[in-house]
Structure 1
């Protein structure tokens, strides 16, 4: 049986990999944004009941659910980066000295920033085309269905926002890695800003 002290310790361990104040804000937002999956579930249940019990299907449920799930997927990138839970190969990283880890963190941040900068450029072009006509007037791209919500435009803007956020997160991680004192104990190095 787990007591309260163990639960608190596990919660503290879950936040141990959060490196910056921005990461903390992003990671904490997941506690609220995570409820969107339940909203998508509720919409799906409503659609099933409407369709099969009352023989009155909706024209908005599928697109709403698709939008929510896609948005949750996109927001997962900054959250994983904030919590340092992204996929990585740790064989080399765990086998080297703290000084070498620092250089690997610097290199990783630079590569990530280059990647996110490229994605942000592509996201900007994609967002502009989804929110403007060829003449430059604002017009949100719709789905083309009878409901025609502007969810494609909203998702493309969310792609740009998430990529820009991950660029800033990587920049802050780079600054933290550059400033890190490799001679300090591991617990003290994690507490430095």
Structure 2
């Protein structure tokens, strides 16, 4: 169910590529056609592309389209393959926890002043929007989603092993 929701969300988020392209085209037309560059186009496009990239991780897991090198895995017996897949899932969770901690620190620092009060980090440009804070929040959410996906996969893997079919 989680993967299905992420796949549906990914189909909506994919439209951000089109929006980023429209913003870039608008900037080019304004800058070179009318000699009137925008203040917001570059930052907006950077945020959109960063969000798309970050949310591509959970989408790749949900659609099972991430890079897999299966040379060793395909040569193992089903039982050994199952154990190696479980190890891979556990290492995936550890990786998400480590990266998630770093993302949490970055997101917290981007949303809180040194005294602990709420404030959003801004870009410091003339437009000065809080897109850097939003980008760090999106990265944190993306990593959290991937960690939850890995936990769900471990539960599914365990259930499959208990059912005796050996196939998660």
TM-score by length of 2: 0.94
2:132 equivalent among 127, 149, 152 = 152
Q: How does 1:136-151 map to 2 (within 5 A)?
A: 136-151=116-131
- Cα distance in 2, alignment partners of residues 31 and 156 from structure 1: 22
1:105 equivalent among 67, 85, 90 = 85
Question: What is the Cα deviation at residue 184 of structure 1?
Answer: 3.6
1:82 equivalent among 62, 71, 81 = 62
- Cα distance in 1, alignment partners of residues 147 and 138 from structure 2: 14
Tell me, yes or no, if structure 1 residue 27 matches structure 2 residue 4: no
Q: How does 1:1-193 map to 2 (within 5 A)?
A: 21-181=1-161, 184=165, 189=167
Gaps of 5+ in 2: none
- Cα distance in 2, alignment partners of residues 26 and 99 from structure 1: 30
**Which one has the bigger helix percentage?**
2
Give the count of matched residue pairs.
167
- Cα distance in 2, alignment partners of residues 29 and 102 from structure 1: 30
- Cα distance in 2, alignment partners of residues 179 and 117 from structure 1: 23
RMSD: 1.5
Question: What is the Cα deviation at residue 171 of structure 1?
Answer: 0.3
- Cα distance in 2, alignment partners of residues 172 and 139 from structure 1: 34
The list of structure 1 runs, each at least 4 consecutive aligned residues, that deviate by more than 2 angstroms after superposition, is 181-185
Secondary structure in structure 2 of the residue aligned to 1:180: helix
- Cα distance in 1, alignment partners of residues 60 and 27 from structure 2: 31
Q: Deviations over 1:80-106 (max 9, x none)?
A: 111111112100111112222211111
Gaps of 5+ in 1: 1-20
Question: What is the Cα deviation at residue 183 of structure 1?
Answer: 5.6
Moved more, 105-114 or 172-181: 172-181
- Cα distance in 2, alignment partners of residues 100 and 131 from structure 1: 45
